[in-house]
């Protein structure tokens, strides 16, 4: 019997040691702070005035004044598109949704050069939802 006993102990130790060597479950990958959801929208436009005599190919631009938003609002690149005699200028901003920000209005005051050629005729410039009509003699 003694001869069987050491084999029995060896078998028990083998089973116990195999159970101890089982792999631990993989830890969840570390997660950093999630980026806030950004909200994009047009800035408020207060005035649009035609400017002549710029040193650009068209020589024309629009002086735009408005409000970008609160302290968390960031201005996005200005986009300009021309559809015949209508020039569409989009001035937008983005900010984190639900962010607590300083409530000091960030103002916008800049001249946007009009791209392209302007032959004699009547044109409309639309900056977000504000329109300006002008003529080239």
Report the pLDDT value the prediction gives residue 17, as an integer from 0 to 100.
Answer: 45
Name the residue ranges covered by the structural domains of the chain: 38-136
Which of 76, 93, 105, 107 shows the shortest CA–CA distance to 39? 93
Report the pLDDT value the prediction gives residue 8, as an integer from 0 to 100.
Answer: 44
Q: What is the pLDDT of residues 88-117, one digit of tens each?
A: 999 999 999 888 888 888 999 999 999 999
Phi, psi of 65 (to 5 degrees): -125, 140
CB 81 within 8 A of CB 56: no
pTM of the model: 0.72
Report the pLDDT value the prediction gives residue 112, as an integer from 0 to 100.
Answer: 98
């Amino acid at each position: 019997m003694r001869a069987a006993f050491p084999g029995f102990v060896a078998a028990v130790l083998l089973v116990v040691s195999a159970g101890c060597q089982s792999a631990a479950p993989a830890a969840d990958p570390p997660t950093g702070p999630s980026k806030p959801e950004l909200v994009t929208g047009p800035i408020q436009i207060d005035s649009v005035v035609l400017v002549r005599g710029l040193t650009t190919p068209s020589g024309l631009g629009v002086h735009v004044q408005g409000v970008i938003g609160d302290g968390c609002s960031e201005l996005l690149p200005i986009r300009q598109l021309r559809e015949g005699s209508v020039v569409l200028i989009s001035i937008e901003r983005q900010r984190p949704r639900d962010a607590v920000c300083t409530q000091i209005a960030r103002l916008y005051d800049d001249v946007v050069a009009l791209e392209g050629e302007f032959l004699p005729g009547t044109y409309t410039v639309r900056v977000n939802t504000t329109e300006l009509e002008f003529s080239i003699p």
